[in-house]
């Protein structure tokens, strides 16, 4: 199973762009990369998903290099409400395996 | 998308007792997933529940401890049996939409269980 590795925690300030990088060296050809956000006392929420190159939605951008062994979640102009844990996952046949996640703290 | 309701949202239970957690989805889904999230930790998959067949358990989880029912395509229950304080966790129900690899998962709010 492809394991993901990401920083345990990150700090940022309001209005800054935050980039969280995840490594997934053993990703398989058919696997997609998905990021989830979790607030305290809530279940994780889907943010963005991609296979290669760049994907952008109203919340974030996802950058995936050609070798697909890593990916970077980019959150533009973060606010205090973006303080949460962010999980990088590799979808493998529908089974989601969560890594430790990155605890993002946004300060005023 | 899918909306998931879990009951109860939280409970405090005596050790040695059992608690059944209910998960209701607003649409029919083939597979439902049960996760455990221990305090300050990430999510760990307990089992996958398919309608009409036995649940598939992940390593470290057994049916006697976590029996699962899946009576129809919109409902599932997870029972935490013979509880001990180590079972104190948040238990989450999840469903997925999409094809096998590009799926999007939806989670319930979770059930916060405290065993005393």
Ranges of H-type helices in B1-116: none
Q: What is the pLDDT of residues B7-64, one digit of tens each?
A: 999 999 999 999 999 999 999 998 899 999 999 899 999 999 988 888 999 999 999 9
pLDDT of residue A58: 93
pLDDT of residue B53: 85
Q: Do A97 and B104 touch (CB under 8 A)?
A: no
pLDDT of residue A39: 95
Which helix (H) or strand (E) covers residue B45, if one does?
A: strand B43-50
Q: Does B103 touch chain A (CB under 8 A)?
A: yes
Closest-approach residue (CA) in chain A for B1? A46
Q: Which of A30, A43, A100 lies nearest to residue B42, judging by beta carbons?
A: A100
Q: Does B36 touch chain A (CB under 8 A)?
A: no
Q: Which residue has the higher pLDDT, B107 or A96?
A: B107
- Angle at the Cα of A78 (from A65 to B3), degrees rounded to 5? 85
pLDDT of residue A2: 62
pLDDT of residue A105: 98
Parallel/antiparallel/unpaired status of strands A70-75 and A18-23: antiparallel
* A9, two tokens: 């925690």
Q: Which of A49, A94, A98 lies nearest to residue B100, judging by beta carbons?
A: A94
Q: In a mutagenesis test of the B interface, which of A91, A92, A97, A103 is the best target, namely the one with the most B β-carbons within 10 Å?
A: A91
Mean pLDDT across A11-24: 96
Nearest residue to A90 via CA among A46, A47, A35, A39: A35
């Amino acid at each position: 199973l492809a394991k993901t590795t990401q920083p345990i925690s990150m700090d940022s300030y309001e209005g800054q762009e935050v980039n969280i990088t995840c490594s997934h060296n053993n990703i398989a050809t058919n696997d997609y990369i998905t990021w989830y956000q979790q607030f305290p006392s809530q279940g994780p929420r889907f943010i963005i998903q991609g296979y290669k190159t760049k994907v952008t939605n109203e919340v974030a951008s996802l950058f995936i290099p050609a070798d697909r062994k890593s990916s970077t979640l980019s959150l533009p102009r973060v606010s205090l409400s973006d303080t949460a844990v962010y999980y990088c996952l590799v979808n493998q046949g529908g089974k989601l395996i969560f890594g430790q996640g990155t605890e993002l703290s946004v300060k005023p | 998308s899918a909306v998931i309701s879990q009951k109860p949202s939280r409970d405090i239970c005596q050790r040695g007792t059992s608690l059944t957690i209910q998960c209701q989805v607003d649409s029919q889904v083939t597979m439902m997933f049960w996760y455990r999230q221990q305090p300050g930790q990430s999510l760990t998959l307990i089992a996958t529940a398919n309608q009409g067949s036995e649940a598939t358990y992940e390593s470290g989880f057994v049916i006697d401890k976590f029996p699962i029912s899946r009576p129809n395509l919109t409902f599932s229950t997870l029972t935490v049996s013979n509880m001990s304080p180590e079972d104190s966790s948040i238990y989450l129900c999840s469903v997925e939409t999409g094809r096998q690899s590009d799926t999007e998962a939806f989670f319930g709010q979770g059930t916060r269980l405290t065993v005393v």
